[in-house]
Structure 1
Amino acid sequence: METHHDPVPNDKTSGWRGSREVWLDAARQALLESGLDAVKIQPLATRLNLSRTSFYWFFKDRTALLDALLQAWEEKNTGAFLDACAEYAETPSEAVLNLTGVFFDESRFEPQFDFAVRGWAHQSDAVMARVNRADEQRLAAITAMFERFGVEPVEADVRARTIYLVQIGYISMQVRESLETRMSRVPDYMAIFSGQRPSESELARFHARHGHVPAGGN
Protein backbone atom coordinates (compact mmCIF):
# COMPACT_ATOMS: atom_id res chain seq x y z
CA MET A 1 0.00 0.00 0.00
CA GLU A 2 1.32 3.42 -0.92
CA THR A 3 1.94 5.68 2.08
CA HIS A 4 0.93 9.32 1.71
CA HIS A 5 3.30 11.80 3.33
CA ASP A 6 1.56 14.98 4.37
CA PRO A 7 3.73 18.06 3.70
CA VAL A 8 2.53 19.63 6.93
CA PRO A 9 4.50 18.73 10.08
CA ASN A 10 2.73 16.02 12.06
CA ASP A 11 3.63 16.27 15.74
CA LYS A 12 1.92 16.80 19.06
CA THR A 13 1.70 20.56 18.61
CA SER A 14 0.47 20.57 15.02
CA GLY A 15 -1.55 17.40 14.55
CA TRP A 16 -3.69 16.80 11.49
CA ARG A 17 -5.01 20.37 11.47
CA GLY A 18 -1.57 21.93 11.02
CA SER A 19 -0.75 24.70 13.50
CA ARG A 20 -1.24 28.42 13.84
CA GLU A 21 2.33 28.96 12.68
CA VAL A 22 1.87 26.71 9.64
CA TRP A 23 -1.23 28.60 8.49
CA LEU A 24 0.39 31.96 9.17
CA ASP A 25 3.56 31.06 7.27
CA ALA A 26 1.47 29.84 4.33
CA ALA A 27 -0.38 33.16 4.35
CA ARG A 28 2.90 35.07 4.40
CA GLN A 29 4.26 33.05 1.48
CA ALA A 30 1.07 33.58 -0.51
CA LEU A 31 1.22 37.33 0.14
CA LEU A 32 4.84 37.51 -0.97
CA GLU A 33 4.31 35.41 -4.07
CA SER A 34 0.94 36.56 -5.35
CA GLY A 35 -0.37 39.46 -3.29
CA LEU A 36 -3.29 39.95 -0.92
CA ASP A 37 -5.91 38.24 -3.10
CA ALA A 38 -4.03 34.96 -2.69
CA VAL A 39 -4.41 35.06 1.08
CA LYS A 40 -7.73 33.24 1.28
CA ILE A 41 -8.74 30.26 3.36
CA GLN A 42 -9.49 27.66 0.68
CA PRO A 43 -6.37 28.32 -1.43
CA LEU A 44 -4.26 28.14 1.71
CA ALA A 45 -5.92 24.88 2.74
CA THR A 46 -5.18 23.45 -0.70
CA ARG A 47 -1.61 24.69 -0.49
CA LEU A 48 -1.16 22.95 2.85
CA ASN A 49 -3.13 19.82 1.93
CA LEU A 50 -5.40 20.42 4.92
CA SER A 51 -9.14 20.76 5.25
CA ARG A 52 -10.71 24.21 5.20
CA THR A 53 -12.31 23.55 8.59
CA SER A 54 -8.84 23.07 10.11
CA PHE A 55 -8.24 26.78 9.66
CA TYR A 56 -10.92 27.65 12.21
CA TRP A 57 -9.09 25.88 15.02
CA PHE A 58 -6.52 28.68 14.88
CA PHE A 59 -8.26 31.76 13.47
CA LYS A 60 -11.79 33.09 13.77
CA ASP A 61 -11.90 34.19 10.14
CA ARG A 62 -9.79 35.63 7.31
CA THR A 63 -9.75 39.04 9.00
CA ALA A 64 -8.11 37.50 12.06
CA LEU A 65 -5.52 35.84 9.83
CA LEU A 66 -4.74 39.12 8.07
CA ASP A 67 -4.38 40.89 11.42
CA ALA A 68 -1.97 38.18 12.60
CA LEU A 69 -0.01 38.59 9.38
CA LEU A 70 0.38 42.32 10.02
CA GLN A 71 1.38 41.66 13.60
CA ALA A 72 4.04 39.20 12.42
CA TRP A 73 5.37 41.84 10.03
CA GLU A 74 5.52 44.45 12.79
CA GLU A 75 7.24 42.09 15.22
CA LYS A 76 9.84 40.93 12.72
CA ASN A 77 10.65 43.91 10.53
CA THR A 78 9.97 46.83 12.86
CA GLY A 79 11.34 44.81 15.76
CA ALA A 80 14.61 44.37 13.87
CA PHE A 81 14.96 48.15 13.57
CA LEU A 82 14.29 48.76 17.25
CA ASP A 83 16.71 46.04 18.36
CA ALA A 84 19.49 47.20 16.02
CA CYS A 85 19.18 50.83 17.10
CA ALA A 86 19.47 49.78 20.75
CA GLU A 87 22.61 47.66 20.23
CA TYR A 88 25.81 48.75 21.93
CA ALA A 89 28.09 50.98 19.86
CA GLU A 90 31.08 53.14 20.78
CA THR A 91 30.80 55.52 17.83
CA PRO A 92 28.06 56.84 15.53
CA SER A 93 29.55 54.92 12.61
CA GLU A 94 29.44 51.68 14.59
CA ALA A 95 25.82 52.38 15.54
CA VAL A 96 24.90 52.91 11.89
CA LEU A 97 26.76 49.73 10.96
CA ASN A 98 24.63 47.87 13.50
CA LEU A 99 21.53 49.22 11.81
CA THR A 100 22.83 48.61 8.30
CA GLY A 101 23.47 45.01 9.25
CA VAL A 102 19.71 44.50 9.46
CA PHE A 103 19.49 44.88 5.68
CA PHE A 104 22.14 42.21 5.13
CA ASP A 105 20.32 39.58 7.18
CA GLU A 106 16.89 38.47 5.98
CA SER A 107 16.47 36.26 9.03
CA ARG A 108 16.10 39.56 10.94
CA PHE A 109 14.47 41.86 8.40
CA GLU A 110 12.64 40.60 5.31
CA PRO A 111 12.61 43.19 2.49
CA GLN A 112 10.00 41.35 0.42
CA PHE A 113 7.66 41.23 3.42
CA ASP A 114 7.99 45.01 3.74
CA PHE A 115 7.39 45.44 0.01
CA ALA A 116 4.29 43.24 0.10
CA VAL A 117 2.76 44.98 3.12
CA ARG A 118 3.36 48.40 1.57
CA GLY A 119 1.55 47.22 -1.54
CA TRP A 120 -1.27 45.94 0.62
CA ALA A 121 -1.49 49.35 2.32
CA HIS A 122 -2.56 50.93 -0.97
CA GLN A 123 -5.73 48.82 -0.75
CA SER A 124 -6.59 49.55 2.89
CA ASP A 125 -6.61 52.74 4.94
CA ALA A 126 -6.28 50.68 8.12
CA VAL A 127 -3.17 48.92 6.84
CA MET A 128 -1.75 52.22 5.61
CA ALA A 129 -2.20 53.61 9.12
CA ARG A 130 -0.23 50.68 10.55
CA VAL A 131 2.51 51.12 7.96
CA ASN A 132 2.72 54.84 8.76
CA ARG A 133 2.93 54.03 12.46
CA ALA A 134 5.71 51.52 11.83
CA ASP A 135 7.62 54.07 9.76
CA GLU A 136 7.37 56.58 12.58
CA GLN A 137 8.54 54.02 15.13
CA ARG A 138 11.54 53.12 13.00
CA LEU A 139 12.45 56.75 12.36
CA ALA A 140 12.10 57.58 16.04
CA ALA A 141 14.44 54.73 16.96
CA ILE A 142 17.10 55.87 14.47
CA THR A 143 16.76 59.47 15.64
CA ALA A 144 17.17 58.41 19.27
CA MET A 145 20.22 56.38 18.29
CA PHE A 146 21.94 59.52 16.96
CA GLU A 147 20.83 61.61 19.93
CA ARG A 148 22.64 59.17 22.25
CA PHE A 149 25.85 60.44 20.66
CA GLY A 150 25.00 64.07 21.29
CA VAL A 151 23.63 64.86 17.84
CA GLU A 152 21.18 67.76 17.96
CA PRO A 153 17.52 66.72 17.47
CA VAL A 154 17.03 68.38 14.07
CA GLU A 155 20.23 66.91 12.65
CA ALA A 156 19.45 63.52 14.21
CA ASP A 157 16.03 63.56 12.54
CA VAL A 158 17.48 64.44 9.13
CA ARG A 159 20.19 61.77 9.39
CA ALA A 160 17.55 59.23 10.41
CA ARG A 161 15.41 60.13 7.41
CA THR A 162 18.40 59.97 5.09
CA ILE A 163 19.18 56.43 6.21
CA TYR A 164 15.61 55.22 6.29
CA LEU A 165 14.29 56.75 3.10
CA VAL A 166 17.29 55.50 1.14
CA GLN A 167 16.67 51.97 2.39
CA ILE A 168 12.91 52.10 1.74
CA GLY A 169 13.77 53.35 -1.74
CA TYR A 170 15.94 50.27 -2.26
CA ILE A 171 13.04 48.07 -1.16
CA SER A 172 10.40 49.91 -3.21
CA MET A 173 12.56 49.80 -6.35
CA GLN A 174 13.49 46.17 -5.61
CA VAL A 175 17.14 46.95 -6.26
CA ARG A 176 19.33 43.90 -6.80
CA GLU A 177 23.05 44.22 -6.08
CA SER A 178 25.76 41.66 -5.46
CA LEU A 179 27.07 41.33 -1.91
CA GLU A 180 30.47 42.60 -3.09
CA THR A 181 28.89 45.74 -4.58
CA ARG A 182 26.82 46.41 -1.47
CA MET A 183 29.79 45.93 0.83
CA SER A 184 32.04 48.14 -1.28
CA ARG A 185 29.64 51.04 -0.76
CA VAL A 186 29.28 50.64 2.99
CA PRO A 187 32.20 52.90 4.06
CA ASP A 188 30.91 55.83 1.98
CA TYR A 189 27.33 55.28 3.06
CA MET A 190 28.52 55.32 6.69
CA ALA A 191 30.40 58.56 6.10
CA ILE A 192 27.26 60.18 4.70
CA PHE A 193 24.85 58.68 7.21
CA SER A 194 26.89 59.14 10.41
CA GLY A 195 29.26 61.97 9.50
CA GLN A 196 32.35 59.79 9.95
CA ARG A 197 33.97 56.91 8.14
CA PRO A 198 34.05 53.61 10.03
CA SER A 199 37.40 52.47 11.38
CA GLU A 200 39.15 49.44 9.91
CA SER A 201 38.27 47.42 13.00
CA GLU A 202 34.59 48.42 12.80
CA LEU A 203 34.47 47.39 9.14
CA ALA A 204 36.28 44.15 9.89
CA ARG A 205 33.73 43.24 12.56
CA PHE A 206 30.89 44.15 10.20
CA HIS A 207 32.34 41.98 7.42
CA ALA A 208 32.90 39.07 9.79
CA ARG A 209 29.36 39.33 11.15
CA HIS A 210 27.98 38.95 7.64
CA GLY A 211 30.42 36.36 6.38
CA HIS A 212 32.06 38.67 3.86
CA VAL A 213 35.67 38.47 2.79
CA PRO A 214 36.68 41.61 0.85
CA ALA A 215 38.39 41.14 -2.49
CA GLY A 216 42.06 40.56 -1.82
CA GLY A 217 41.31 39.54 1.77
CA ASN A 218 42.19 36.27 3.43
Structure 2
Amino acid sequence: MTEKTEKTGGWRGSREVWLDAAREAFVTSGLDAVKIQPLATRLNLSRTSFYWFFPDRAALLDAILADWEATNTGSLERATQSYSETIAEAVLNLIGVFLDDGPFETRLDLAVRGWAHQSDDVAARVHAADAARLSAIHDMFARFGYSPGEADVRARTVYLTQIGYISMQVRETMAERLARVPDYVMTFTGQAATESELARFRARHKT
Protein backbone atom coordinates (compact mmCIF):
# COMPACT_ATOMS: atom_id res chain seq x y z
CA MET A 1 0.00 0.00 0.00
CA THR A 2 1.19 3.54 -0.69
CA GLU A 3 2.08 5.77 2.22
CA LYS A 4 -1.23 7.20 3.32
CA THR A 5 0.27 10.05 5.31
CA GLU A 6 1.19 11.68 2.01
CA LYS A 7 -2.52 12.08 1.30
CA THR A 8 -3.41 13.40 4.73
CA GLY A 9 -4.85 16.90 4.61
CA GLY A 10 -4.45 18.75 7.90
CA TRP A 11 -4.64 16.93 11.20
CA ARG A 12 -7.84 15.01 10.45
CA GLY A 13 -6.88 13.36 7.19
CA SER A 14 -9.75 12.91 4.75
CA ARG A 15 -12.58 10.50 4.09
CA GLU A 16 -10.54 8.94 1.29
CA VAL A 17 -7.54 8.42 3.57
CA TRP A 18 -9.59 6.64 6.22
CA LEU A 19 -11.46 4.55 3.65
CA ASP A 20 -8.28 3.55 1.80
CA ALA A 21 -6.66 2.45 5.05
CA ALA A 22 -9.75 0.53 6.12
CA ARG A 23 -10.03 -1.22 2.76
CA GLU A 24 -6.37 -2.24 2.82
CA ALA A 25 -6.66 -3.54 6.39
CA PHE A 26 -9.79 -5.47 5.42
CA VAL A 27 -8.21 -7.03 2.33
CA THR A 28 -4.93 -7.96 4.00
CA SER A 29 -6.01 -8.87 7.53
CA GLY A 30 -9.78 -9.39 7.55
CA LEU A 31 -12.83 -7.70 8.99
CA ASP A 32 -11.55 -7.65 12.57
CA ALA A 33 -8.64 -5.47 11.46
CA VAL A 34 -11.02 -2.67 10.52
CA LYS A 35 -11.09 -0.86 13.86
CA ILE A 36 -10.82 2.83 14.48
CA GLN A 37 -7.89 3.02 16.87
CA PRO A 38 -5.55 0.71 14.91
CA LEU A 39 -6.38 2.65 11.75
CA ALA A 40 -5.68 5.94 13.51
CA THR A 41 -2.33 4.63 14.71
CA ARG A 42 -1.47 3.39 11.25
CA LEU A 43 -2.31 6.78 9.76
CA ASN A 44 -0.66 8.77 12.55
CA LEU A 45 -3.95 10.58 13.15
CA SER A 46 -6.07 11.03 16.25
CA ARG A 47 -8.95 8.66 16.87
CA THR A 48 -11.34 11.59 17.13
CA SER A 49 -10.49 12.76 13.60
CA PHE A 50 -12.24 9.65 12.30
CA TYR A 51 -15.58 11.02 13.43
CA TRP A 52 -15.32 14.03 11.12
CA PHE A 53 -15.89 11.63 8.23
CA PHE A 54 -17.82 8.64 9.60
CA PRO A 55 -20.31 8.51 12.49
CA ASP A 56 -19.15 5.05 13.57
CA ARG A 57 -17.42 1.84 12.49
CA ALA A 58 -20.62 0.51 10.91
CA ALA A 59 -20.65 3.48 8.54
CA LEU A 60 -17.04 2.78 7.60
CA LEU A 61 -17.84 -0.85 6.86
CA ASP A 62 -20.78 0.21 4.72
CA ALA A 63 -18.46 2.57 2.84
CA ILE A 64 -16.15 -0.36 2.09
CA LEU A 65 -19.08 -2.24 0.58
CA ALA A 66 -20.19 0.78 -1.43
CA ASP A 67 -16.63 1.20 -2.70
CA TRP A 68 -16.52 -2.48 -3.66
CA GLU A 69 -19.77 -2.15 -5.60
CA ALA A 70 -18.61 0.99 -7.40
CA THR A 71 -15.15 -0.37 -8.17
CA ASN A 72 -15.82 -3.96 -9.13
CA THR A 73 -19.43 -4.14 -10.29
CA GLY A 74 -19.11 -0.70 -11.84
CA SER A 75 -15.98 -1.51 -13.82
CA LEU A 76 -17.48 -4.76 -15.12
CA GLU A 77 -20.69 -3.06 -16.22
CA ARG A 78 -18.76 -0.30 -17.98
CA ALA A 79 -16.66 -2.88 -19.82
CA THR A 80 -19.72 -4.69 -21.13
CA GLN A 81 -21.03 -1.38 -22.48
CA SER A 82 -17.75 -0.27 -24.07
CA TYR A 83 -17.65 0.21 -27.82
CA SER A 84 -16.92 -2.97 -29.75
CA GLU A 85 -17.60 -4.03 -33.33
CA THR A 86 -17.73 -7.77 -32.63
CA ILE A 87 -18.58 -10.02 -29.71
CA ALA A 88 -14.94 -11.15 -29.64
CA GLU A 89 -13.83 -7.56 -29.12
CA ALA A 90 -16.52 -7.10 -26.46
CA VAL A 91 -15.26 -10.13 -24.55
CA LEU A 92 -11.68 -8.88 -24.84
CA ASN A 93 -12.83 -5.62 -23.24
CA LEU A 94 -14.33 -7.65 -20.41
CA ILE A 95 -11.31 -9.90 -19.95
CA GLY A 96 -9.13 -6.81 -19.65
CA VAL A 97 -11.04 -5.69 -16.57
CA PHE A 98 -9.82 -8.73 -14.65
CA LEU A 99 -6.15 -8.61 -15.58
CA ASP A 100 -3.60 -7.41 -13.04
CA ASP A 101 -3.55 -3.94 -14.55
CA GLY A 102 -7.34 -3.76 -14.80
CA PRO A 103 -9.75 -1.87 -12.52
CA PHE A 104 -11.39 -4.93 -10.93
CA GLU A 105 -9.88 -5.50 -7.47
CA THR A 106 -9.80 -9.27 -7.08
CA ARG A 107 -8.49 -9.23 -3.50
CA LEU A 108 -11.35 -6.96 -2.46
CA ASP A 109 -13.89 -9.22 -4.16
CA LEU A 110 -12.50 -12.26 -2.37
CA ALA A 111 -12.55 -10.48 0.98
CA VAL A 112 -16.15 -9.34 0.56
CA ARG A 113 -17.22 -12.86 -0.38
CA GLY A 114 -15.58 -14.13 2.78
CA TRP A 115 -17.42 -11.49 4.79
CA ALA A 116 -20.71 -12.63 3.25
CA HIS A 117 -20.35 -15.94 5.10
CA GLN A 118 -20.61 -13.98 8.36
CA SER A 119 -23.41 -11.57 7.49
CA ASP A 120 -26.78 -12.10 5.84
CA ASP A 121 -26.88 -8.43 4.84
CA VAL A 122 -23.51 -8.65 3.11
CA ALA A 123 -24.51 -11.94 1.48
CA ALA A 124 -27.58 -10.20 0.05
CA ARG A 125 -25.38 -7.45 -1.43
CA VAL A 126 -23.03 -10.04 -2.93
CA HIS A 127 -25.98 -11.87 -4.49
CA ALA A 128 -27.30 -8.58 -5.88
CA ALA A 129 -23.87 -7.72 -7.29
CA ASP A 130 -23.54 -11.13 -8.93
CA ALA A 131 -27.00 -10.75 -10.47
CA ALA A 132 -26.15 -7.28 -11.80
CA ARG A 133 -22.86 -8.48 -13.27
CA LEU A 134 -24.45 -11.50 -14.93
CA SER A 135 -27.22 -9.31 -16.32
CA ALA A 136 -24.67 -6.91 -17.81
CA ILE A 137 -22.76 -9.73 -19.49
CA HIS A 138 -25.99 -11.33 -20.70
CA ASP A 139 -27.05 -8.03 -22.27
CA MET A 140 -23.66 -7.76 -23.97
CA PHE A 141 -24.17 -11.12 -25.67
CA ALA A 142 -27.79 -10.30 -26.52
CA ARG A 143 -26.64 -7.09 -28.19
CA PHE A 144 -24.69 -9.22 -30.67
CA GLY A 145 -27.66 -11.39 -31.55
CA TYR A 146 -27.37 -14.34 -29.17
CA SER A 147 -30.68 -15.83 -28.08
CA PRO A 148 -31.75 -15.21 -24.46
CA GLY A 149 -30.91 -18.75 -23.40
CA GLU A 150 -27.52 -18.81 -25.10
CA ALA A 151 -26.69 -15.33 -23.82
CA ASP A 152 -27.50 -16.51 -20.29
CA VAL A 153 -25.28 -19.60 -20.49
CA ARG A 154 -22.41 -17.77 -22.12
CA ALA A 155 -22.64 -15.00 -19.53
CA ARG A 156 -22.46 -17.58 -16.76
CA THR A 157 -19.52 -19.30 -18.43
CA VAL A 158 -17.57 -16.04 -18.60
CA TYR A 159 -18.44 -14.82 -15.13
CA LEU A 160 -18.25 -18.07 -13.18
CA THR A 161 -14.89 -18.84 -14.77
CA GLN A 162 -13.57 -15.53 -13.47
CA ILE A 163 -15.10 -15.97 -10.02
CA GLY A 164 -13.44 -19.40 -9.95
CA TYR A 165 -10.10 -17.72 -10.60
CA ILE A 166 -10.74 -15.38 -7.69
CA SER A 167 -12.10 -17.98 -5.26
CA MET A 168 -9.28 -20.43 -5.99
CA GLN A 169 -6.73 -17.59 -5.82
CA VAL A 170 -5.16 -18.83 -9.03
CA ARG A 171 -1.66 -17.50 -9.57
CA GLU A 172 -0.57 -17.06 -13.17
CA THR A 173 1.96 -14.81 -14.79
CA MET A 174 0.59 -12.21 -17.17
CA ALA A 175 2.22 -14.12 -20.02
CA GLU A 176 0.43 -17.33 -19.05
CA ARG A 177 -2.91 -15.58 -18.74
CA LEU A 178 -2.57 -13.74 -22.01
CA ALA A 179 -1.52 -16.88 -23.88
CA ARG A 180 -4.92 -18.38 -23.07
CA VAL A 181 -6.92 -15.31 -24.10
CA PRO A 182 -7.56 -16.28 -27.76
CA ASP A 183 -8.89 -19.69 -26.70
CA TYR A 184 -10.98 -18.13 -23.94
CA VAL A 185 -12.54 -15.80 -26.50
CA MET A 186 -13.35 -18.75 -28.76
CA THR A 187 -14.80 -20.73 -25.84
CA PHE A 188 -16.86 -17.84 -24.50
CA THR A 189 -18.22 -16.59 -27.84
CA GLY A 190 -17.90 -19.36 -30.40
CA GLN A 191 -15.94 -16.91 -32.57
CA ALA A 192 -12.24 -16.26 -32.98
CA ALA A 193 -10.79 -12.84 -32.25
CA THR A 194 -9.00 -11.35 -35.23
CA GLU A 195 -5.31 -10.60 -35.13
CA SER A 196 -6.06 -6.86 -35.15
CA GLU A 197 -8.43 -7.25 -32.18
CA LEU A 198 -5.81 -9.21 -30.26
CA ALA A 199 -3.14 -6.68 -31.18
CA ARG A 200 -5.25 -3.81 -29.81
CA PHE A 201 -5.92 -5.81 -26.67
CA ARG A 202 -2.21 -6.51 -26.12
CA ALA A 203 -1.36 -2.87 -26.77
CA ARG A 204 -3.83 -1.74 -24.11
CA HIS A 205 -2.20 -4.07 -21.63
CA LYS A 206 1.35 -3.28 -22.76
CA THR A 207 2.33 -6.80 -23.76
**Superposition TM-score tier, normalisation by shorter sequence:** over 0.9
> 1:7 Cα shift?
5.8
Specify which of 157, 179, 182 is matched with residue 177 of structure 2.
Answer: 182
> CA 1:74 to 1:9, structure 2 compared with 1: closer, same or farther past 3 Å?
same
Quote the residue 1:210 is aligned against. 205
Specify which of 61, 64, 68 is matched with residue 66 of structure 1.
Answer: 61
> 1:203 Cα shift?
0.4
Within a 5 Å distance, the mapping from 1:22-171 to structure 2 comes to 22-171=17-166
Q: Secondary structure at the match of 2:103?
A: coil
**Structure 2 gaps, min length 5:** none
Q: Is the 8 A contact 2:4 2:21 kept in 1?
A: no
Q: Is the 8 A contact 2:138 2:154 kept in 1?
A: yes
> CA 1:106 to 1:122, structure 2 compared with 1: closer, same or farther past 3 Å?
farther
Distance in 2, Cα, partners of 1:44 & 1:123: 22
Quote the residue 1:192 is aligned against. 187
Distance in 1, Cα, partners of 2:181 & 2:106: 18
TM-score with structure 1 setting the length: 0.91
> CA 1:176 to 1:24, structure 2 compared with 1: closer, same or farther past 3 Å?
same
Quote the residue 2:6 is aligned against. 9
> CA 1:10 to 1:144, structure 2 compared with 1: closer, same or farther past 3 Å?
closer
TM-score with structure 2 setting the length: 0.96
Specify which of 201, 206, 218 is matched with residue 196 of structure 2.
Answer: 201
The CA deviation string for residues 141-176 of structure 1, in whole angstroms up to 9 with x for no partner, is 000000001100010000000000000000000000
Q: Is the 8 A contact 1:93 1:196 kept in 2?
A: yes
Distance in 1, Cα, partners of 2:101 & 2:169: 14
| Number of corresponding residues | 205
Distance in 2, Cα, partners of 1:88 & 1:8: 39
> 1:15 Cα shift?
1.2
> CA 1:126 to 1:7, structure 2 compared with 1: closer, same or farther past 3 Å?
closer
**Structure 1 gaps, min length 5:** 1-5, 213-218
Q: Secondary structure at the match of 1:165?
A: helix
> 1:105 Cα shift?
4.5
Point out the structure with max Rg over C-alpha. Answer: 1
> 1:108 Cα shift?
1.0
The CA deviation string for residues 16-64 of structure 1, in whole angstroms up to 9 with x for no partner, is 1110000000000000110000001111111111111110000000000
> 1:123 Cα shift?
0.7
> CA 1:190 to 1:10, structure 2 compared with 1: closer, same or farther past 3 Å?
closer
